Amino acid sequence: MSPILYALEHGKSKLSQMERKLAERILASPGEIVHMGITELAEQCGISPATITRFCKVLHFKGFPDFKVKLAAEIAHSDGSPEGSGSSYQDIVAGNPLSVIVEAMQANHLASIRDTTSLLDLERLQSAIDVLCRARRVDMYGMATSSIVAQDFYQKLIRIGVNCTAFADSHMQITSASSLQEGDVAFAVSYSGETPETIDALSCAAASGAATISLTSYGSSSLATLADIPLFSSSLEQGMRRGDMASRIAQLHIIDILFTGMVSTRFGDFIPKLEQSYLNVQHYRHKRGGQS
Amino acid sequence: MSPILYALEHGKSKLSQMERKLAERILASPGEIVHMGITELAEQCGISPATITRFCKVLHFKGFPDFKVKLAAEIAHSDGSPEGSGSSYQDIVAGNPLSVIVEAMQANHLASIRDTTSLLDLERLQSAIDVLCRARRVDMYGMATSSIVAQDFYQKLIRIGVNCTAFADSHMQITSASSLQEGDVAFAVSYSGETPETIDALSCAAASGAATISLTSYGSSSLATLADIPLFSSSLEQGMRRGDMASRIAQLHIIDILFTGMVSTRFGDFIPKLEQSYLNVQHYRHKRGGQS
DNA sequence: TCTATTCATGAAAATAATTTTCCTATATTA
DNA sequence: TAATATAGGAAAATTATTTTCATGAATAGA
């Protein structure tokens, strides 16, 4: 906790009634305070602006604006997660004020990325990258939210000239999987690891002789068991319906690592293609008279 | 370097003479700026206070004090964690060992989420949520990477029964935009804020009388200027082609906040629909013999 | 090349925010 | 109980910020 908030918390007992109201309001959501005027804050606390100015002077600030700037600087260091723990998932419920939602979401997403990174098995990740780099063709499978992740990887791979498909349609996924061969890669994404359509597609791909990679939430699941190289994103403890938001961020995080790993491995091959795809989009647009 | 300073540094060329003086003064010692009044800063730059206020507005801040608070928050992280984990953006180059890539990616993504959160304007976010909650119909626009983000929001909105479309085809986007009416919402996503197809679609939507929301990387852009409610994700300093990875994570972060805000606002309406959509997917699967 | 128009800019007016002053009510101590 | 100290608010004063308006420079069009 930042020095200012700490001082407020611990000095509370010494403060007078009105000052305490103020201190409590500030502690309740410091992030909001920095975007408030003195009048607004005064009203919310049921006190007068004069009291606030005096209070800031007591704390040795030059005034209220000075206090705000210093406070903003301090709370920026923290994650927004209460008690600075760094890794706690927050649940979000009805009627929460927006500031709480924002803080909770930040805490969740940061925790999710951290947890996912710390769970990574580098060797396994490297072998996934190697397999992908050598792939003649790559198939992506995923339904609903996971289809977004699959699409994202698809877009990236296309840009470096990897022969890749990512059908959203489960029948097409199966059809595509049937036509894979040895040397091809099937990459399946699923939050639960139990999505039947995705499992079917990956099974089919394995039967066709393709190497299989799964990306699921951490823990044992049918999809992970099935895959040659199972990769994991962190699973979220609270409120399952909420889980897929943080999980998707974590999965994209892994996708980014995979992609960057691929580019880094085959720099010479891939970077020129990446440049070219970028330039071509630019070029086409300029012809039409638009901008970047 | 923080997104604000980065935007200043890189947008300098687009600025006018006086604005450039100002930008240079801010870049010279951002830490001092946050403790200055607008008049003092104006004098030091040899310009008028009016120019400063205008400049802040161009950067989509509410005014000079708002700029100061956001800047204070940002420079707080950057000097807090020098060159390592924490909050500085890392570039990724050829032949980096995987462990370095992983660390850099984590640092980038964490920084991106933090920066984006600190740049958020809660009031603006709230008005976006309000507008979305009341919308008769919502149109999503976005090309390439941004289309992924648009699709993601689309999937979420559909699940809570919001009438929403997210065509990937730019002609369909325009067609759809033309049929919008007052009370509808158009939501455009673009990393650069200059994607012509997306700008066209949003302009068209505005002409049709729809409320317009943009989600772009931080800085002044055509799309942000066009929108009634411009929202921003943090922009990434290093290696331009790398920017869209972190930016996409940041944009999804904002999508999650918007969605959660909507659900929280209209808990009673939306939660049952969310439950129902979940149960229906389950039900359908069990009939076929699969699992969750 | 000249004119019209747009755009950048500063001066000053208007507005908004903050701080200070002054006053009252309450509590405290002799 | 009276004297005094003090917290706290109302309102005035001050200060900061924003807006408006006028001007001159630059650019585009004729």
Write down the mean pLDDT value for chain A. Answer: 83
The structure tokens listed for A28 are 């309740």
* CATH class name, domain B122-274: alpha beta
> What average pLDDT does the segment A24-52 reach?
89
User: Which nucleotides on strand C sit less than 7 A from a protein beta carbon?
Assistant: 7-12, 16-21
**pLDDT reported for residue B90:** 56
| Closest alpha carbon within chain B to A244 | B256
Residue A86 pLDDT class (50, 70, 90 cuts): very low
Where are the CATH 1.10.10.10 domain residues in chain B? Answer: 1-80
What CATH architecture does domain B1-80 belong to?
Orthogonal Bundle (1.10)
- Which residues of chain A form beta strands (DSSP E)? 138-141, 164-165, 185-190, 211-217, 229-233
What is the CATH number that goes with domain A122-282? 3.40.50.10490
**pLDDT reported for residue B95:** 66
Q: For residue B111, what are the contacts with CB-CB under 8 A and spacing of at least 6?
A: B77, B86, B87, B88, B89, B234, B246
Distance B64 CA to D24 C1' (A): 27
**pLDDT reported for residue A284:** 65
* Tens-digit pLDDT profile for residues A59-76: 878 899 999 998 888 887
**Does the C-beta of A19 come within 7 A of strand D?**
yes
Distance B46 CA to D20 C1' (A): 21
* Tens-digit pLDDT profile for residues B15-46: 888 888 888 888 888 888 988 989 989 988 88
User: φ, ψ for residue B62 (rounded to 5)?
Assistant: -75, -25
**pLDDT reported for residue B188:** 97
**pLDDT reported for residue B156:** 93
pLDDT at A126 exceeding the cut of 60: yes
Where are the CATH 3.40.50.10490 domain residues in chain A? Answer: 122-282
Q: Give contacts of A290 with chain B, Cβ < 8 Å.
A: 194, 196-197, 199
pLDDT at A102 exceeding the cut of 70: yes
Say if B260 is an interface residue toward chain A (CB within 8 Å).
yes
Where are the CATH 3.40.50.10490 domain residues in chain B? Answer: 122-274
**Does the C-beta of A181 come within 7 A of strand D?**
no
Residue A210 distance to chain B (closest CA, Å) = 23
Contact B113, A103 (CB under 8 A): no
What CATH architecture does domain A3-77 belong to?
Orthogonal Bundle (1.10)
Say if B66 is an interface residue toward chain A (CB within 8 Å).
yes
Q: Are strands B164-165 and B229-233 parallel, antiparallel or unpaired?
A: unpaired
Measured CA to CA in angstroms, residue A27 lies from A1, A33, A63, A236, B118 at distances of 11, 9, 18, 28, 18
Nucleotide nearest to B57 (CA to C1'): D18
**pLDDT reported for residue A239:** 46
pLDDT at B239 exceeding the cut of 70: no
* Tens-digit pLDDT profile for residues B138-174: 999 999 899 999 999 999 999 899 999 999 999 999 9
**Does the C-beta of A155 come within 7 A of strand D?**
no
Are the beta carbons of B261 and A101 separated by less than 8 Å?
yes
Residue B243 pLDDT class (50, 70, 90 cuts): low
Residue A236 pLDDT class (50, 70, 90 cuts): low
**pLDDT reported for residue A234:** 82
Say if B17 is an interface residue toward chain A (CB within 8 Å).
no
Are the beta carbons of B249 and A249 separated by less than 8 Å?
yes
Say if A129 is an interface residue toward chain B (CB within 8 Å).
yes
**Does the C-beta of A51 come within 7 A of strand D?**
yes
Say if B245 is an interface residue toward chain A (CB within 8 Å).
yes
Where are the CATH 1.10.10.10 domain residues in chain A? Answer: 3-77
Measured CA to CA in angstroms, residue A122 lies from A127, A141, A232, B22, B134 at distances of 9, 23, 12, 47, 47
**pLDDT reported for residue B3:** 76
- Angstrom distance (rounded) from CA A227 to CA A230: 6
**Does the C-beta of B66 come within 7 A of strand D?**
yes
pLDDT at B267 exceeding the cut of 90: no
Are the beta carbons of A260 and B113 separated by less than 8 Å?
no
Q: Give contacts of B119 with chain A, Cβ < 8 Å.
A: none
- Select, from the ranges A262-271, B33-42, B174-183, the one with the highest average predicted confidence (pLDDT): B174-183
Distance A65 CA to D6 C1' (A): 26
